[in-house]
């Protein structure tokens, strides 16, 4: 009897009610997903980099033929006795860190010293398409290459290993890596000037306006004016790589503050408002 009752109870039991979905927190405002996806996955990103580095080849001939030619606004005087050099930024100019940005998207994180430091120490960033080939060609023509980066000086050795392993010239020692010191003058201009004591800087490569000329918290109008002022240098002495993931372009939109994600979204939308 007891067994019969048990069977009846089991058969008669309604199916367990579906478990109500656990309410998830509203997703954090995240404005970088499209840019990170483009940089990680598009064929176009390689095409742009190839375009930039290939078009720079024509400038090698011009720069080597003209001993007064310089790409550094602060370099003046008689440059004829100086050895030619190319100055490149590192991040998003010769090394592609978009996989690091992808991890931040997947993990729901944001840029942080620890996660960034771990990525740098991995030394596995891939080169931008055409970058190593172009700089190797320049080196073979007697042009030194300097890597002027705002990575910390303490990260220079890991970066050097990454550059050397991916075919970049002048990465056998730290001599050509000019990274940001822990204290003192931390500007790129000062580090370029040190190079200018012995070298004529013939070309500059970057992904950020301040890889070319540094401005202190310049607003968008001042940044636009700087680009226009040097209109003849772009694609001739100055070569810009695209970086939609981060940079001073976004800092300018945010007024060089660090608002929370929701406030940052609002500021970006406000920047678009005049386009109505
Ligand atoms: Mg950069």
Q: Give me ligand 1 centre to Cα 93, in Å.
A: 6
- Give the model's pLDDT for residue 12: 47
Q: Give me ligand 1 centre to Cα 16, in Å.
A: 56
- Give the model's pLDDT for residue 75: 97
Q: Give me ligand 1 centre to Cα 155, in Å.
A: 15
**Token pair listed for 199:** 């070298």
- Give the model's pLDDT for residue 6: 43
Q: Give me ligand 1 centre to Cα 30, in Å.
A: 21
Cα dihedral value 201, 207, 211, 214, nearest 10: 150
Which one, of 191, 217, 216, lies nearest residue 204 by Cα? 191
Q: Give me ligand 1 centre to Cα 42, in Å.
A: 19
**How far apart are the C-alpha atoms of 1 and 199, rounded to whole Å?**
100
The alpha carbon of residue 150 and the mean position of all alpha carbons in its chain are separated, in whole angstroms, by 10
The SS3 call for residue 55 is: helix
**Token pair listed for 218:** 């310049």
**Token pair listed for 272:** 């678009």
- Give the model's pLDDT for residue 27: 53
CA dihedral sign, ordered 231, 50, 246, 167: negative
CA dihedral sign, ordered 65, 68, 74, 77: positive
- Give the model's pLDDT for residue 15: 53
Q: Can you list the domains of the chain with their CATH numbers?
A: 31-243 (3.40.50.1000), 246-276 (no CATH)
Q: Give me ligand 1 centre to Cα 205, in Å.
A: 9
- Give the model's pLDDT for residue 189: 96
- Give the model's pLDDT for residue 10: 43
- Give the model's pLDDT for residue 29: 83
Instruction: Dump pLDDT digits (tens) for 163-189.
Output: 999 999 999 999 999 999 999 999 999
Q: Give me ligand 1 centre to Cα 104, in Å.
A: 18
First to last CA, the chain: 79
> Contact 148/110 with Cβ under 8 angstroms?
no
Q: Give me ligand 1 centre to Cα 187, in Å.
A: 14
**How far apart are the C-alpha atoms of 194 and 75, rounded to whole Å?**
11
Relative to beta strand 126-127, strand 199-206 is unpaired
**Token pair listed for 91:** 């991040």
Give percent of the chain with pLDDT exceeding 90: 89
Q: Give me ligand 1 centre to Cα 215, in Å.
A: 15
- Give the model's pLDDT for residue 55: 98
**How far apart are the C-alpha atoms of 205 and 90, rounded to whole Å?**
9
**How far apart are the C-alpha atoms of 57 and 55, rounded to whole Å?**
5
Instruction: Dump pLDDT digits (tens) for 75-113.
Output: 999 999 999 999 999 999 999 999 999 999 999 999 999
**How far apart are the C-alpha atoms of 169 and 127, rounded to whole Å?**
12
Counting as low any pLDDT under 50, the low residues of the chain are 1-13, 23-24
Residues whose CB falls within 8 Å of the CB of residue 124, separated by 6 or more in sequence, listed in order: 162
């Amino acid at each position: 009897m007891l067994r019969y009752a048990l069977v009846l109870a089991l058969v008669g039991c309604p199916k367990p009610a579906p478990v109500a979905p656990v309410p998830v927190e509203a997703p954090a405002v995240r404005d970088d997903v499209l840019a990170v996806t483009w940089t990680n996955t598009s064929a176009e990103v390689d095409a742009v980099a190839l375009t930039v580095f290939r078009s720079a080849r024509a400038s090698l001939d011009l720069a080597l033929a003209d001993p007064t030619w310089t790409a550094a606004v602060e370099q003046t005087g008689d440059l004829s006795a100086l050895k030619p050099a190319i100055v490149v930024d590192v991040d998003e100019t010769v090394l592609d860190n978009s996989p690091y940005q992808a991890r931040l998207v997947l993990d729901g994180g944001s840029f942080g010293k620890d996660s960034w430091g771990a990525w740098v120490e991995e030394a596995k960033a891939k080169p931008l398409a055409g970058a190593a080939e172009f700089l190797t060609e320049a080196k073979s023509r007697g042009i030194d290459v300097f890597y002027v980066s705002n990575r910390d000086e303490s990260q220079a050795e890991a970066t050097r290993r990454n550059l050397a392993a991916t075919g970049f010239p002048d990465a056998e020692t730290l001599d050509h890596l000019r990274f940001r010191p822990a204290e003192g003058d931390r500007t790129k201009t000062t580090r370029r000037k040190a190079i200018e004591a012995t070298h004529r800087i013939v070309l500059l490569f970057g992904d950020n306006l301040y890889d070319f000329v540094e401005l202190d918290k310049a607003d968008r109008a001042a940044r636009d004016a700087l680009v226009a002022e040097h209109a003849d240098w772009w694609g001739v002495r100055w070569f810009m790589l695209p970086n939609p993931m981060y940079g001073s372009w976004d800092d300018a939109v945010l007024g060089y503050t660090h608002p929370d994600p929701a406030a940052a979204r609002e500021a970006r939308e406000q920047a678009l408002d005049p386009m109505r």
